[in-house]
Structure 1
Amino acid sequence: MSIRFRLIIMNFLQFFIWACWLITIGSYWFNNKHWSGAEFGAIFSTMGIASLFMPTLTGIIADKWVSAEKLYGILHLLGAAALVYIPEVNNPGDFFWAILLVVIFYMPTIALANSIAYTILNNKQNDIVNDFPPIRVWGTVGFVVALWVISLTGNETSHNQFYIAAAAAVVLGIYSFTLPNCPPLARESDKKTFAETLGLNAFFLFKDVKIAMFFIFSMFLGASLQLTNAYGDTFLHDFAGVTEYKDAIAVKYPAIIMSISQISETLFILAIPFFLKRFGIKQVMLFSMFAWVLRFGLLAYGNPGNGLWMIILSCIVYGMAFDFFNISGSLFIETYTSPKIRASAQGLFMMMVNGFGAISGSLISGFIIQQYFTLPDGTKKWPGIWLTFAIYSLIVALLFAILFKHKHEKNAADVKINH
């Protein structure tokens, strides 16, 4: 079995696990447990909380003490145990802590999966800019397959979604121990400062103005990602209360419609090598930012009837919006940093996007929506909400164009710099 195929299996299962419950957990909450919506918003904050410290912490461990693939396997096995426990929870307060435990184990595995792939591909003398995206695209395929499996088997409101995710996590946890060894590269014999001894080398990246600026704008884009994750499905569900649209396909099967976004990802991931080498990271990130503007703008004017094409087009645009900053950003961090801090640097990227970005996006948007776009009866003024998000994304794009300084050599990948 080729190493590329083995990494494809890893990426497929990595995102299959997440998609089994991420999109449908709301249906489980309201239809299976019959709890109120007052506490549900806190569930999505758990991913941001876990991403504040776990990816960086596990990255430090992988860079200094434990082989990345072994740590990766242990986390997935612990995550499987936490997933099996979820159906046993019988009150919303405990449910928050149970989900937090699940994501504490899961969120760092996203960065570790990238780190493992980069290490193995580099050891095999592969060009990661060309060879990683065709492997990573199978993670998105796994996400789509999981959505369809859970939906078509009628498990959107069932606890079986957690058992299916747990089974996949056990398989991936065991499988990861068979992957090529990815040992820590930091040598204990090297003379170290106190910070280096603690494994905090990657934080020195913030001393580099370019990389600090990159991390800051990654946080802003992480907020955009949280906006679409938190409100996209709710937006479609709200049309069920409109007589004209209640029987529309997009209202009956919102998860299927939203999966178009992941299908679009598969195409844009494969386009990343061309765009990165042709335009460089700054232009690619700008493409992503303007794609967010377009996505939110289309949702502002779309509807499940004659405006369905706008919703579908917004899902297609999502592929560029997500991939061109998430996957390209990860590749940029890999090519810009030393292999000795590979896992830590990827963990920092995750912390900024899914930690600070997700939490700030969730808290600020929640306040703005409640204060300015929610009527006394609870009805949301969705066009105003999406246009506000579009304006936010436009401002971020313009600031990035002005503040992020990066010179790219045409038709060449970014040159690795050893810090």
Structure 2
Amino acid sequence: MRTITKVQLMAMMFLMFFTWGAWYGQMGKYLFTGLHASGDQIGNAYATFSIASIIAPFFVGMIADRFFAAQKVMGVLNLLGAVILYFLIQTDNPDTFFWYILAYTMTFAPNLALSSSIAMNQMRNPEKEFPSIRVLGTIAWIIVTNIIGFYTLGDKVTIFQISMVTSIILGVFAFFLPNTPPKATGKASIGEILGTDAFVLFKDRSFLIFFISSVLVCIPLSFYYAHANLSLTESNMTNVENKMSLGQVSEVFFMLLIPFALSKFGIKKMLIVGLVAWIIRFICFGYGDGISSEWILYIAIVLHGVCYDFFFVTGQIYTDNKAGDKIKNSAQGLITLATYGIGMGIGSKISGIVLDKYTTIDAATQATIHNWTSVWMVPAGIAAVVLVLFVIFFHDNKKTA
């Protein structure tokens, strides 16, 4: 790959994740503080990304891959997204906000598949070349959340203004990316797009258990994305966004450990470690305090790398190995649809309902009080149930060289 091409692809990843990171982790706090949204309204707002993740494969698989060059589709979508964000930042009604964020996520979600398609199309050896390009996305997330934390913008509409500006930049920049023409392979079947061709893998009981566990563990994951920022802020932690970025730092670190851990411990032990980390993490969120026991909250933040990499990334590798070349794409599509689409969609809705259940109004001050210990015990309990299910029924522990 030419150096100029690599730089272009790295810039693409940086801009895309900078745009996403500016608002995603902070949206719940912004909705509660700025728009006085309820827990259910916050959950609904986060569910829009899941809805978009379900629809995006149809868009990319049936339109982008067959009629237009991927980089041009990315350019148009990001410019359209910037227009939607312009109207979104004008609203102060959480119900109206829902429709704007739904429309925006519809334009953003396809970027994840389009960026991979554009990058992979330029590579001779994606397994070796892609990580060094994709890591720029994680670095961008760390940088933008630190900027937001440093200037205390997490509860302000500025988070969406930043995304609007970078959407315009990425939208224009996309038209100058390496050409990725549509694939001349005819029409894709619904089975290929949704990944249903990979249903044959369900004959393997261990894969079926892994699939069910992946969907269920995305419910606790939704609690983290929707409520962690607000929870840490109300626990009296300062510079929350800056400190939460340590989760992405740990993600990079543990990502590098995956090849060694897979060869040493095998798939099952890796996935179990990931599930145990989720349980410990939510308990720490529930009982940590930004004044007297902030170190407990630091443990919860830093465990993000173990939780995400040792379950989700390891799970993608497991799926890839199980599927083989013929249904590899269908299998990954199925897992993505089930986790980011169905699992996190259900989780976002549940997280909002749970937050409302453990919310009270102080009679004297009329201040809203959240019982965060009770809130976080719900995802901890769900993760514990998934762990027991997984330990008993999953028997595949192949090691990867």
Per the normalisation by structure 1, the TM-score is: 0.80
* Distance (Å, rounded) in 2 between the aligned partners of 1:330 and 1:198: 19
Q: Deviations for 1:266-287, whole angstroms, at most 9, x for unmatched residues?
A: 2122323333454454443332
2:215 touches 2:338 (CA, 8 Å); kept in 1? yes
Q: What amino acid is the match of 1:125?
A: N
Deviation for aligned residue 1:3: 4.5
Which position in structure 2 is the counterpart of 1:148?
146
Q: What amino acid is the match of 2:379?
A: F
SS, match of residue 20 in structure 1: helix
2:235 aligned with 1:239, yes or no?
yes
Which position in structure 1 is the counterpart of 2:311?
325
Identity of aligned residues (%): 32
- Choose the corresponding residue for 1:398, options 380, 384, 388: 388
- Choose the corresponding residue for 2:200, options 203, 207, 215: 207
* Distance (Å, rounded) in 2 between the aligned partners of 1:152 and 1:287: 33
Which position in structure 1 is the counterpart of 2:365?
none
* Distance (Å, rounded) in 2 between the aligned partners of 1:174 and 1:335: 38
Which position in structure 2 is the counterpart of 1:255?
241
Q: How does 1:214-363 map onto structure 2 within 5 Å?
A: 214-240=210-236, 250=237, 252-333=238-319, 346-363=332-349
1:86 touches 1:99 (CA, 8 Å); kept in 2? yes
Deviation for aligned residue 1:312: 0.3
Q: What amino acid is the match of 2:91?
A: V
Which position in structure 2 is the counterpart of 1:113?
115
2:41 aligned with 1:12, yes or no?
no
SS, match of residue 88 in structure 1: coil
C-alpha change, 1:295 and 1:132, in structure 2 (3 Å) is farther
Q: Deviations for 1:34-60, whole angstroms, at most 9, x for unmatched residues?
A: 545364443222222222322454244
2:287 touches 2:373 (CA, 8 Å); kept in 1? yes
Q: What amino acid is the match of 2:232?
A: L
Deviation for aligned residue 1:81: 2.1
Q: What amino acid is the match of 1:292?
A: W
Q: Deviations for 1:357-383, whole angstroms, at most 9, x for unmatched residues?
A: 112223334445555x45575644333
SS, match of residue 109 in structure 2: helix
Q: What amino acid is the match of 1:238?
A: E
C-alpha change, 1:47 and 1:352, in structure 2 (3 Å) is same
Q: How does 1:4-153 map onto structure 2 within 5 Å?
A: 4-29=6-31, 32=34, 34-37=35-38, 39-121=41-123, 124-126=124-126, 128=127, 130-153=128-151
Q: Tell me, which stretches of 5 or more residues in structure 2 are unaligned? A: 363-367
Deviation for aligned residue 1:315: 0.8
Q: What amino acid is the match of 2:344?
A: A
Q: Tell me, which stretches of 5 or more residues in structure 1 are unaligned? A: 241-249, 413-419
Which position in structure 1 is the counterpart of 2:375?
385
Deviation for aligned residue 1:298: 2.0
Q: Deviations for 1:294-328, whole angstroms, at most 9, x for unmatched residues?
A: 21122233211332111101111111111233334
C-alpha change, 1:170 and 1:276, in structure 2 (3 Å) is farther
2:26 touches 2:229 (CA, 8 Å); kept in 1? no
SS, match of residue 208 in structure 1: helix
1:73 touches 1:177 (CA, 8 Å); kept in 2? yes
Q: Deviations for 1:225-264, whole angstroms, at most 9, x for unmatched residues?
A: 1011122122223335xxxxxxxxx1x3222222221222
Deviation for aligned residue 1:158: 4.2
Which position in structure 2 is the counterpart of 1:161?
159
C-alpha change, 1:391 and 1:91, in structure 2 (3 Å) is closer
C-alpha change, 1:359 and 1:175, in structure 2 (3 Å) is same
More displaced 10-residue stretch of structure 1: 19-28 or 300-309: 19-28
More displaced 10-residue stretch of structure 1: 36-45 or 102-111: 36-45
SS, match of residue 310 in structure 1: helix
C-alpha change, 1:236 and 1:153, in structure 2 (3 Å) is closer
Q: What amino acid is the match of 2:38?
A: G
Give the number of aligned pairs.
390
1:4 touches 1:135 (CA, 8 Å); kept in 2? yes
2:38 touches 2:356 (CA, 8 Å); kept in 1? no
2:205 aligned with 1:187, yes or no?
no
2:47 touches 2:346 (CA, 8 Å); kept in 1? no
2:44 touches 2:349 (CA, 8 Å); kept in 1? no
C-alpha change, 1:219 and 1:156, in structure 2 (3 Å) is same
* Distance (Å, rounded) in 2 between the aligned partners of 1:135 and 1:295: 29
C-alpha change, 1:279 and 1:185, in structure 2 (3 Å) is farther
Which position in structure 2 is the counterpart of 1:245?
none
